[in-house]
Every structure is written in C-alpha cells, then in structure tokens.
Chain A
C-alpha cells in the first residue's frame, strides 16, 4: 500500500498507558535524569515514568519525545527518542493527547474491529 498506516504510534499521556499496554505510543516527557540506559522523567500529565532501553546515549535536552511500547502504567520501552529542546508546552501536548484519544481519534488511528478499547475513555 502506498500510504502505510499499519504501525502507528498513538498519542498518549500517562493516563492512557494502562489501556495501551503492549501498544506503540508517542509521548513527550520532561527528563529528570538518565541512568543506566533508562530515562527517569515526567509524563505530560504529571506522573513520573521510566523509559527503558533508551536507544542512544547522547545528551538529552529537557524535553524528549519518546516513541515506544507501553510496558505498564508508568513504563515505556523506547524505540525512538527525539530531543525536543528546552522549551516545550507539556500541558498543551497533554491536552492534544486527550483530544486525539477522544472525539477526534478518527484522524489519528484506524478503528480496529473488536478492539475498541477506547470506548471506556470516551
């Protein structure tokens, strides 16, 4: 297929981690510290989370976008980490996550039959 939509990363703040366990998500975090390959950081909606197996070791800016697979309520396994600089509006991003999982999710993800785990969040 010309346009590939098979491997999306769903916009998510920590609130969405639980229903998304095992799925690929996209979030932006505020870095607290980088230790032993793990990023200890703050999710857009506040909770502290751990990003594991961070794929690179270079200096991180204060804000980092993480594409990764949800492992639990407060844990992600990283695939791609992108420096988002030292100035970023996390609160606004968190609101975007809410919208992208609410009424406007159609423009972000395909509906999956029999897997409408989002219904509870509506």
Chain B
C-alpha cells in the first residue's frame, strides 16, 4: 500500500511529521522494498512550520517543481500570520497572509457545500491571526499557498510557539545537513531504526541524532510510528523475523521459539516486542495468536 502512493500522494499525506525523511524512513523501508529506491525528489517531507521569509527564499530546481528550504524539500507547510485583503468568491476564499516577516497569497478552495468549514472561513476577517495548513506552489511564476485549513488563533501563545517551532526545524535541518552529508542518497535514506546509513556517519552520531529526534521533536508531535520506542529487544526480534530462513517458514515463528532464541531477554520482553512489531505493521500473526511472520516476507 505504501509503495503504491505516487510522488504526490506520498508527499501530501505520507509523512505526518515535521522532519523530512527521518520520520518516514522507518515506513519506507519496512513496508515496501520500493521505498528505499524512490527518487530523492519524491521523498515525503512531512509538514513543516515556516516563516513567509523562508518561503520567499525557498529555491526550486529547474528539473522539478519542488521547493527546497534549508536543503530539504518542502511540500506541506504551516504558517501563522495575520489576514489582509480577504476576498470571497464563489469558488474560493483568498487573502494575503502577513506574518510580519513577509506576505504571501493564500487560497482556500470551497467545494460549494455549505459546511462548518465554510462558516468558519466566512468568520475569518481582515486583521485576525490564523494558522494555515497548506501546500506551497508556484502559479504563473508567483508563489502562493493553497490552504487545506484556515483556522483562527484563539490562544496567542500559539503565535510564539509557531516561530519557536520554525526556528527549531530550521536549526534541526541545518544541523542535520552538517552532520549527515550523503545520507540523502536514495540508497541510504530508508534505513531501518535510524541505524547508520552506509555513509560517513559514525554510529555514535547516529545515536545522538536519533535521540535528538525522538525526545525533543517527534514524541510531542505524536508520530504514528513511535520510532523512539524501538528498543534493542524489538530491533533484535524484528531482525530474527527477517532472517531468510524464517521468512521461508509458511506459518512463521512461534512466540516460544522466538523467546528461546532471544538470549538475554525475558519472555515478557519478547512478547512486548512482538506486540509492538505487530502494532507497527512489521510482523503479523499467522495460523494463531502464537505464530508471527515478517511483513517483508
């Protein structure tokens, strides 16, 4: 299913997190062998908090229509700013969003139905603060944002938060650029569990990077894949299921068999690891609740 998602589908809804590629590396590799061979340009880049100033300096490669900020592809973005020059038409609502680093045109298409969303959009007035989620694009040489959602801000700490978050992601991406040059090559992007890609990185750096992501960033963003919770036991149980010999067994492995082969871990730990891997879609139960097999098989 994941491998079916094309470039656009994948980039629209694939990530769900804020940090490009890292957040989906786990998925890409484990769900679809094709994930790792995706072109660099179609890597899902998640949802990125930005300032309008950053959008103005986003670069585009002549070869594709994608935008890049801090060297990372930008598709879906979130902005916080004030509404000006709002115009309502039958088919869309558009306005200039000014976050006081710059202004950009935002357009929200209306599907014609009188919905809650439409009522909400009508209540957006000039001079109020909104948060938008949208897609950055270039139309007739002009950059604008097609919004999926425009919501008024009610707690104004969110304004502070947005800019702090934008700073965080910016700093994160710059640090990552400096730290893992070369990991953006297609072959090494989809590495499971953030294990060191075949690049210049040392394992130690990898550990730091991973803990940085999980503790400070991904966990609060409630990532669908709890990459931070992949512990040693889970990793080894998964590796066991992925062994060719075990992939070949039709009914998969029995829990007791797994526990027997996982020296150094209690049966309960192994069971927990199996439950985790099932929940994350890495393995599935076969003939009964005691037999499991890798989804890579």
Contacts and interface: CB of A to CB of B under 8 A. Distances in A.
Interface of A: 1-5, 8-9, 11, 26, 28, 63, 65, 67, 80, 82, 84-85, 87-89, 92-93, 96, 99-100, 104, 107-110
Contacts of A28: 156
A107 B156 contact: no
B48 to A, nearest CB: 12
B164 A96 contact: yes
29 contacts: A2-B105, A2-B143, A3-B56, A3-B104, A4-B103, A5-B52, A5-B101, A5-B102, A9-B100, A11-B100, A65-B156, A82-B82, A82-B127, A84-B156, A85-B155, A87-B157, A88-B156, A92-B160, A92-B164, A96-B163, A99-B164, A104-B170, A104-B171, A107-B50, A108-B53, A108-B101, A108-B163, A109-B101, A110-B53
A9 B53 CA distance: 12
* A28, A63, A82: most-surrounded residue (chain B CB, <10 A): A82
Interface of B: 50-56, 82, 100-105, 127, 129, 141-144, 155-157, 159-160, 163-164, 166-167, 170-171
Contacts of A4: 102-104
Nearest to B128: A82
A7 B159 CA distance: 19
Given A3-B143, A96-B163, A104-B167, A8 B156 contact: no
Nearest to A8: B101
Contacts, number: 81
B104 A2 contact: yes
A2 B141 contact: yes
A3 B104 CA distance: 5
A25 B56 CA distance: 20
B51 A107 contact: yes
* B53, B82, B129, B171: most-surrounded residue (chain A CB, <10 A): B53
Given A2-B141, A96-B163, A87 B155 contact: yes
A2 B142 contact: yes
Given A3-B56, A99-B164, A89 B142 contact: no
B153 to A, nearest CB: 10
B167 A109 contact: no
Contacts of A100: 163, 167
Nearest to B69: A107
Contacts of B101: 5, 8, 107-109
A89 B157 contact: yes
Contacts of B105: 2
B127 A8 contact: no
Nearest to A3: B56
Contact of B53 (A5, A82, A92): A5
B156 A63 contact: yes
A8 B53 contact: yes
Contacts of A9: 100
Nearest to A95: B164
B262 to A, nearest CB: 46
Contacts of A2: 104-105, 141-144
A109 to B, nearest CB: 7
Given A89-B160, A107-B167, 8 more contacts: A2-B144, A8-B102, A11-B100, A65-B159, A82-B82, A96-B160, A108-B53, A110-B53
A5 B56 contact: yes
A80 B170 CA distance: 28
A110 B101 CA distance: 9
